[in-house]
Chain A
Amino acid sequence: MLNRFMQMRLRDLVILAVILFALPLFLNNPFHYDLATQMAIIAATVVGLNLLVGFAGQISLGHAGFFGLGAYFTGIMTSNYGWSSVPALVVGAILVGILAWIVGRPILRLKGHYLSMATLAVGFIIAIILNNERALTGGPDGMPVPAFTVFGWELSPFGSYNLLGMELNGSEAWYLFAAVVLLVAVWLAQNLIDSPIGRALRSVHGSEVAARVVGVDTARYKSLVFVVSAIYASSMGSLYAHFQGFITPAVAGFDFSILFITMVVLGGMGSTMGVILGAVVLKLLPQVLADFQELETVMFGAILMLTMIFMPKGLLPTIQMAVGRRMKKKAGGQA
């Protein structure tokens, strides 16, 4: 039986896949590909954060901390200890998951502003540690990260590849890789949402009292989703490190955390496709506004404010509602 949810997920995944694989038709230089790759990696991070914020109704203002930990774990293990990329990513994600669980248990008892402050602090602490552990992380100067390798095969922005007879340069290959990663990230997130676990998570948001009386151990589920979203962030941090080839503590910083949460809110909390749109818009805006030079930040802020005032549900849900209403009107007019 195809229920409403399953139809929606299939539709969303297909649309996303079509967009992702059609996009190269409009990208005509390595800079565009790099931007698109960054977008895909960040979007996958935000899809994970949306599980926590949009679906379970909790907040994290320190998620870049987990992103940064993943990036640095990968950086340190691959460059200093000669690990291969996949083990570094997986072990990093597991360690970050454990850390998130340990930190999450006590702080997720907090609500609202207090939870915001606590998660903000988690992010700050991680950023400070990365800044200060000079011997390991290179401190504020950052550190280089080698290219992504699997079984000796290397994915580098400067390489050239052959995929099913297509000649690809490094940027194009990275983009395709990131696009597939994003699709997988979305697929996993959708599976989680449309399941008993997902209902329990959403009930924590919808009515915590109701959740508890039907038997949901709300503390456990909040920790679970915190861990899952931290693992998303850590894994994507690892990929980001490989892709950029160089990382600084800024990847774990406050600005990045706020950027992530803004993408979720702007795109549409609780809408997986929405937050991807949020990521795309917020990565694109600075490029588009670059022509305005010193007014860039002002315009950036103004656009955010106006969107929130006139589209409080976020970009995509608002657009979907408007389209739905129009279609209904049309159907009504014809009848």
Chain B
Amino acid sequence: MSALIEVKSLDKAFGGVHAVEGVSFSVEAGQVYSVIGPNGAGKTTLFNLISGLYTPTKGEIVLKGESTAKLEPNQLAERGMCRTFQQMQICMNMSAIENVMLGRHLKLRSNLFTTLFRLPSLLRDEKACRERAAELMEFVGCGDYLDTEASAMSYGALKRLEIARALAADPKVILLDEPAAGLNAVETAALEKLIRKIADQGTTVMLVEHDMKLVMGISDRLLVLNYGRVLAEGTPEEIRNNPDVIAAYLGG
């Protein structure tokens, strides 16, 4: 058995603060794997480590059997890792569909020469890229906004747009950092459906989320962090009945 992502005794310290300490777990391909925990538990730090934005202080992350220690975020993207952010990272200087087309960056073969003279090969690629991007925007439910400027879109639409951009790279694993934050009940229900659809296509999903109903309904496994350490790991059923988790959440 080989896991898609293996995290081995991961440590990240900011000065004296251990944001993540001795965290180990593994994610199988095709799972929906959620990370939960109170605010400041280190969930986003963990995501930043996995996606290569932070370098671990100690420990390592193995993606498909390869250590990611020396890899930049863009090199991780080449290996099928993509993500969204709690603080959305949308390029407001572009239109909606251009943001999604940007997500296909690694799929496009263009060089300065074909670009400057706008040769037919480039135009063909661009047309295919735009069609795929439009499909994805339809898939996440913002098909009405193709040529809208990103800066003119609503918060909920931008959240979905960011997911479309991440999917545009045809990732093996997609990391969603609090996708439901700031969404209303209807939007959250739509999001749950969307995450299911993504998982059904065989993409591994890692999720950081506070909405327990969403997390418990959708996850195959959960990791509970508290003060940077692993409090519990298991199926939603196991987590729900774990006395430590109940204590941390309900203050027992």
**A interface residue numbers (CB < 8 A to B):** 1, 3-4, 188, 191-192, 195-200, 202-203, 205-207, 209-218, 224, 228, 270
- A218 CA to B52 CA, complexed, in Å: 14
Chain A residue numbers with a CB within 8 Å of B108 are 196
Rounded to whole angstroms, the CA-CA distance of A215 and B51 in the bound complex is: 11
For A1, list chain B residues within 8 Å (CB). Answer: 127, 130
In the complex, the answer to whether A199 meets B98 with C-beta atoms within 8 Å is yes
How far, in whole Å, are A216 and B83 apart by their CA atoms in the complex?
A: 14
B228 at the interface (CB under 8 A from A): no
Residues of A within 8 A of B117 (CB): 191
Q: Which of B53-76 contact A (CB under 8 A)?
A: 53, 72-74, 76
> Are A191 and B116 interface neighbours, CB within 8 A?
yes
Interface check B227, CB cutoff 8 A: no
Q: Is B165 an interface residue (CB 8 A)?
A: yes
* Residues from chain B with Cβ under 8 Å of A215 in the complex: 74, 77-78, 105-106, 169
Residue pair A212, B112 in contact (C-beta under 8 Å): no
Question: In this complex, what residue of A is CB-closest to B175?
Answer: A213
Min C-beta distance of A22 to chain B, whole Å: 26
Given contacts A209-B85, A215-B106, A215-B169, contact A196 B115 (CB under 8 A): yes
Using A196-B105, A207-B91, A270-B93 as known contacts, say yes or no to A213 and B98 having CB atoms under 8 A apart: no
**A173 vs B12: C-alpha distance in the bound complex, in angstroms?**
66
Tell me how far the C-beta of B31 lies from the nearest C-beta in chain A, rounded to whole angstroms.
21
Picked from B92, B127, B165, the residue with its CB within 8 Å of the CB of A214 is B165
Contact: B115 with A214, CB < 8 Å? no
Dominant SS among interface residues on chain A: helix
**A192 CA to B118 CA, complexed, in Å:** 8
* Bound form: Cα–Cα A26–B72 in Å: 56
A199 to chain B: closest residue by CB: B102
Shortest Cβ gap from B145 to chain A (Å): 12
B91 near A3: Cβ-Cβ < 8 Å: no
Residues of B within 8 A of A4 (CB): 95, 147
Query: Could you tell me if B73 and A213 are in contact, using CB atoms closer than 8 angstroms?
Result: yes
Taking a contact as CB atoms under 8 Å apart, the answer to whether A197 and B110 are in contact is yes
Q: From residue B209, how far is it (CB to closest CB) to chain A in Å?
A: 19
B94 to chain A, nearest CB (A): 6
The yes or no answer to B82 lying at the interface (CB within 8 A) is: yes
Contact across chains for B94 and A206 when beta carbons are under 8 A apart: yes
User: How long is the Cα–Cα vector from A197 to B51 in the complex, in angstroms?
Assistant: 23
The 13 sampled A-B contact pairs (Cβ below 8 Å) are: A1-B127, A3-B147, A195-B126, A197-B110, A197-B115, A199-B105, A202-B94, A210-B102, A212-B72, A212-B77, A213-B81, A217-B72, A217-B74
State whether B90 touches A206 (Cβ < 8 A). yes
Using an 8 Å CB-CB cutoff, how does the interface string of B24-60 with A read, 1 for contact, 0 for none?
Answer: 0000000000000000000000000001010000000
User: Which chain A residues border B116 with CB–CB below 8 Å?
Assistant: 188, 191-192
- Closest Cβ of chain B to A293, distance in Å, is 42
Q: Closest CB-CB distance, A144 to chain B, in whole Å?
A: 33
Which chain B residues border A214 with CB–CB below 8 Å? Answer: 74, 77, 82, 102-103, 105-106, 165-166, 168-169
B112 in complex: contacting residue of A197, A203, A213, A217, CB < 8 Å: A197
Residues of A within 8 A of B91 (CB): 202-203, 205-207, 210-211
Check B74–A212 contact: CB distance below 8 A: yes
Interchain CA distance A228-B76 in the complex, whole Å: 28
